[in-house]
Structure formats: structure tokens, C-alpha cells
């Protein structure tokens, strides 16, 4: 994999960077945390409801360059630099469920060597998983919250443009083996 971007600027891509998107209930945070342990990756969790993970992680300018201008290089450089400086073998960045990347954003990420992945399942599987998590944590957000914040996003992630990026996380209504999911996610990053 080349370490030189389309602009001729050196990137940090000797280390894999995985960007995890998907609706709430697909286990993005869990996959990120487990993947960090399993592969010795840095995990940056941007979904800090009700807080702002981009500000807490001090990556707001890099995120906005990517999200607003389809310039993924600053995000790749800062995430890769943090992973390298902290002695990690790569990085996993997990995003809020409302972050549905456009084709241009997906192309921008891949053009600088980052690997976008969409964790996915049927609407009912995602909703049931979300409700189970909310009950177990005591936070207690209900189906109305999921529908308001995920129904349109889930429909978007169902679109064919996301097929190359999707990783199915449920089988027969239950989570697949986490190790299998992680191996599939990791394999996509080369």
C-alpha cells in the first residue's frame, strides 16, 4: 500500500485505519473495543452520547475536513500518528449511527488507505439489540429514540452502495461470534 496520497503528501498508512459506521444496535463500540484488544489497535470512540466525541478526542477539524469537504487526509494523518505514537498496530474509529457517509466520503477514505466498514443487520435485529443494551445499562432509551435517530439511517445503509462495505453482525436474530466479525473487519484492512 502506498504511503503517498493523491496529493503527493505522506500519509500514516503503514498502519491500518478502520472506520466503523452503522445503525445503533450493531455493536460498533463493542467491535471497536474488542478489535483494539485483539489486534492491539487504538480505538477512538466518537459516539459519546449525549457528549461530542469529536471535540473530546480533539479531532473536530480533521473530522470536518473529511465530512464536509471529502478530504480524508487530515483524519488519516492524525489517527495514524496517534496510533503510531502510542505504539499501536493500527486504529479503529467508531462513529455515531447518524454518520452515513456519502459515496464521495467513502472514496476519499479509501483513497488515503483507510478502510470504511458498515456493521449491519435487519431493522428488527438492530432495534432489539439497541433495546437490550439500553435495558442492561439502565439508560433506558426506548424504541422511539432508535426510530427517530436510526430508521432513516438504517434505510440508507440498506442501499446497494454500501454492499461492498457491509459486515453482517447478526445470524438468526442473534449476534454472530464476535471473533468472526472482528476477523472479517480486520481482513478488509489488508
Residue 118 lies in a domain: yes
Nearest alpha-carbon partner for 6 in 129, 110, 142: 110
pLDDT at 150 over 90: no
Please tell me the total count of domains within the chain: 1
Residue 55 lies in a domain: yes
Mean per-residue pLDDT, 149-160 = 90
Residue 12 lies in a domain: no
Helix or strand holding residue 136 (H, E) = helix 123-137
Higher pLDDT, 97 or 62: 62
pLDDT of residue 55: 93
Provide the whole-model pTM: 0.89
DSSP letters spanning 25-44: TS-HHHHHHHHHHHHT-EEE
pLDDT of residue 13: 53
Q: Indicate the range of 11-15, 20-24, 138-142 predicted with least confidence.
A: 11-15
Residue 32 lies in a domain: yes
Nearest alpha-carbon partner for 47 in 72, 68, 70, 20: 20
Mean per-residue pLDDT, 129-148 = 86
What is residue 119's three-state secondary structure? Answer: strand
Summarize pLDDT for 55-73 with one digit per residue, the tens.
999 999 999 999 999 999 9
Higher pLDDT, 1 or 155: 155
CATH number, position 170: 3.40.50.300
Copy the grid coordinates of residue 79. 489517527
Residue 121 lies in a domain: yes
What domain range is 175 assigned to? 17-188
At residue 19, φ and ψ (nearest 5 deg) are -105, 120
Residue 11 lies in a domain: no
Q: Indicate the range of 89-93, 123-127, 142-146 predicted with least confidence.
A: 142-146
CB-based burial label for 184 (10 Å; 0-12, 13-18, 19+): middle
Amino acid at each position: 500500500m502506498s504511503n503517498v496520497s493523491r496529493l503527493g503528501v505522506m500519509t500514516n498508512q503503514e498502519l491500518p485505519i478502520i472506520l466503523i459506521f452503522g445503525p445503533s444496535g450493531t455493536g460498533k463500540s463493542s467491535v471497536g473495543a474488542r478489535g483494539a484488544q485483539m489486534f492491539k489497535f487504538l480505538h477512538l470512540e466518537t459516539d459519546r452520547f449525549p457528549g461530542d466525541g469529536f471535540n473530546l478526542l480533539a479531532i473536530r477539524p480533521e473530522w470536518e475536513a473529511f465530512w464536509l469537504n471529502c478530504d480524508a487526509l487530515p483524519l488519516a494523518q492524525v489517527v495514524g500518528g496517534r496510533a503510531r505514537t502510542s505504539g499501536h498496530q493500527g486504529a479503529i474509529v467508531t462513529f455515531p449511527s447518524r454518520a452515513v457517509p456519502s459515496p464521495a466520503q467513502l472514496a476519499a477514505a479509501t483513497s488515503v488507505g483507510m478502510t470504511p466498514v458498515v456493521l449491519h443487520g435487519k431493522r428488527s435485529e438492530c432495534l432489539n439489540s439497541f433495546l437490550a443494551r439500553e435495558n442492561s445499562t439502565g439508560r433506558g432509551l426506548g424504541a422511539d429514540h432508535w426510530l427517530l435517530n436510526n430508521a432513516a439511517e438504517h434505510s440508507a445503509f440498506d442501499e446497494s452502495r454500501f454492499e461492498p462495505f457491509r459486515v453482517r453482525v447478526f445470524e438468526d436474530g442473534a449476534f454472530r461470534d464476535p471473533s468472526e466479525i472482528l476477523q472479517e473487519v480486520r481482513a478488509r484492512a489488508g
